[in-house]
């Protein structure tokens, strides 16, 4: 099954089969010194890996949505830099650091909104500056593995902190996919949902289908069903009606970038969900690691919003559905103002009613 609306979508990368049990935690696999990405464009119909042999391949996989979700994009970029160091040091042991600049640039151009990509590039750049020339590839790749491991551990903490906010049992609505597939494992929004469900605080999840890539219908529902967490897919436009029908306590979503004032960029449709939630007295929880908070971006107005091809909305399952002369507007993220967010949950704890001072204090803490 191809994501509907993506008519020009093509598989242009080398598929490989791996001898591992595929799960929501195997979006990014580092095995035998090689990087494999689970092709999320094909889920849930096919479980196929793409091998990325160089940094260009990683950037292409990010751009093409083989790997997606802010933390997963950052982790993949960190491995990509490891692959770049391996290649650059092998071909020029004296000047490998200088030529790496082009590789950082290639990665930075892959997608603009998820700040975790730029966080990972900056982190790896600092790490590389701190090491000498003795076997740098092994050390840089070990650092990528460490970023991957930390993200998994952070998501467990986010899950526990977030679950503590939910007085259940209640139903919740989530949007897009902020699960194991979008992270190093376990998930941010789905980490909260997993922990809260295990504690009996959530009895039903409504997953917005998330037009046009259908991350909710294809990925979130797949993840939750595999964990036997009750999930129903709803059309994005059904969410306000579901809130009006009662029984929904929280909207729980991830984030691609949180500005210094607490404005949240996330998958297109999150803003409308938050507006509807406020109208219906439903609370909004944003779950994200601190690497998603961008203190350099003062407010949501300065967050670059990715625009993708019009075909993604003008086509359905590869077939054009709109008249030939018609164009489309396809921003794939929107900004939810901080005033519509009840809590931001990170691996460090909870920021209730986020504002610039509370975010700064949270980032300054250990
Ligand atoms: O376009 P995508 O699929 O990369 O968008 C993903 C989202 O919007 C997620 O909600 C966000 O990255 C958080 S993932 C933990």
Q: How far is the CA of 177 from the centre of ligand 1 (A)?
A: 6
Give me the residue spans of the domains in the chain. 13-154, 159-364
Q: What is the pLDDT of residue 318?
A: 84
Is residue 13 over pLDDT 80?
A: no
* pLDDT (0 to 100) of residue 17: 86
Rounded to whole angstroms, the Cα distance separating 354 from 129 reads: 34
Which H helix or E strand runs over 152?
helix 136-163
Q: How confident is the model at residue 7, as a pLDDT?
A: 43
Q: What is the architecture of the domain spanning 159-364?
A: 3-Layer(aba) Sandwich (3.40)
Which of 214, 267, 284, 286 maximizes ligand 1 atoms within 8 Å of its Cβ, making it the mutation to test the pocket? 267
Which positions are catalytic? 256
pLDDT of residue 249: 98
pLDDT band at 366 (very low <50, low <70, confident <90, very high): low
Residue 255 Cβ contacting ligand 1 at under 6 Å = yes
Q: Is the pLDDT of residue 308 over 80?
A: yes
What pLDDT does residue 317 have? 82
Query: Could you give the CA distance from residue 258 to residue 274 in angstroms, rounded to a whole number?
Result: 15
13-154 matches 159-364 in fold: no
**Ligand 1 mutation pick, 183, 207, 252, 254, max ligand atoms within 8 A of CB:** 254
Residue 5 has pLDDT above 80, yes or no: no
| The two structure tokens encoding residue 143 | 């650092």
**Of 22, 312, 331, nearest in space to 180 by CA:** 22
pTM of the entire structure?
0.96
Q: Is the pLDDT of residue 315 over 50?
A: yes
pLDDT of residue 9: 45
Identify the pLDDT of residue 240: 98
Strands (E), the chain: 15-16, 28-31, 34-38, 49-52, 170-174, 202-208, 231-234, 248-253, 257-259, 264-267, 283-287, 293-294, 315-316, 319-320, 333-336, 343-346, 349-352
| Å from CA of 68 to ligand 1 middle | 6
Exposed / middle / buried, residue 22 (Cβ in 10 Å: 0-12, 13-18, 19+): middle
Averaged pLDDT, 95-115: 97
Establish whether residue 76 lines the binding site of ligand 1, counting it when its CB lies within 6 angstroms of any ligand atom: no
Could you tell me the distance, in angstroms and rounded to a whole number, from the CA of residue 221 to the centre of ligand 1? 15
For 13-154, CATH gives 1.20.120.420
> What's the rounded mean pLDDT across residues 3-16?
59
CA–CA distance from 194 to each of 81, 176, 186 (Å)?
A: 32, 16, 8
Q: Are 292 and 115 in contact (CB under 8 A)?
A: yes
Query: Could you tell me which of 26, 33, 32, 114 has the C-alpha nearest to residue 77?
Result: 114
The model's pLDDT over 111-127, given as tens digits with 9 standing for 90+, comes to 999 999 999 999 999 99
Q: pLDDT over 90 for what percent of the chain?
A: 93
What DSSP assignment string belongs to 111-133? -SS-HHHHHHHHHHHHHHHTS-S
165, pLDDT greater than 50: yes
Mean pLDDT score of the chain:
95
Distances (CA, A) of 61 to 67, 276, 329: 6, 34, 24
């Amino acid at each position: 099954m191809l994501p509907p609306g993506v008519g020009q979508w093509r598989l242009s990368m080398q598929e490989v089969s791996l001898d591992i049990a595929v799960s929501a935690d195997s979006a990014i696999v580092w095995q035998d010194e090689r990087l494999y990405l689970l092709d999320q464009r094909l889920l849930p119909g096919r479980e196929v890996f793409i091998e990325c042999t160089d940094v260009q391949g990683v950037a292409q996989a990010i751009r093409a949505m083989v790997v997606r979700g802010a933390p997963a994009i950052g982790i993949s970029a960190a491995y990509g830099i490891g692959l770049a160091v391996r290649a650059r040091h092998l071909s020029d042991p004296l000047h490998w650091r200088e030529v790496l600049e082009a590789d950082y640039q290639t990665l930075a151009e892959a997608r603009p909104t998820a700040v975790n990509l730029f966080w990972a590039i900056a982190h790896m750049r600092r790490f590389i500056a701190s090491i000498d020339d003795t076997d740098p590839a092994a050390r840089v790749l070990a650092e990528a593995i460490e970023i991957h491991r930390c993200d998994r551990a952070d998501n467990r903490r986010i899950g526990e902190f977030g679950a503590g906010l939910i007085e259940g049992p209640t139903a919740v609505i989530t949007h897009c996919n902020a699960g194991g597939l979008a992270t190093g494992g376990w998930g941010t929004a789905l980490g909260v949902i997993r922990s809260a469900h295990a504690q009996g605080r959530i009895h039903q999840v409504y997953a917005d289908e998330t037009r046009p890539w259908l991350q909710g219908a294809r990925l979130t529902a797949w993840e939750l069903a595999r964990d036997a967490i009750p999930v129903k897919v709803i059309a994005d436009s059904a969410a306000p009606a579901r809130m009006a029908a009662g029984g929904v306590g929280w909207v729980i979503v991830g984030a691609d970038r949180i500005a210094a004032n607490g404005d949240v960029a996330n998958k297109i449709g999150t803003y409308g969900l938050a507006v509807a939630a406020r109208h219906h007295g439903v609370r909004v929880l944003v779950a994200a690691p601190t690497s998603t908070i961008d203190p350099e971006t003062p407010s949501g107005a300065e967050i670059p919003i990715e625009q993708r091809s019009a075909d993604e909305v003008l086509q359905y399952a590869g077939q054009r559905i709109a008249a030939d002369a018609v164009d489309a507007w396809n921003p794939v993220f929107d900004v939810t103002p901080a005033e519509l967010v009840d809590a931001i949950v990170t691996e460090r704890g909870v920021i209730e009613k986020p504002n610039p001072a509370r975010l700064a204090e949270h980032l300054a803490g250990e």
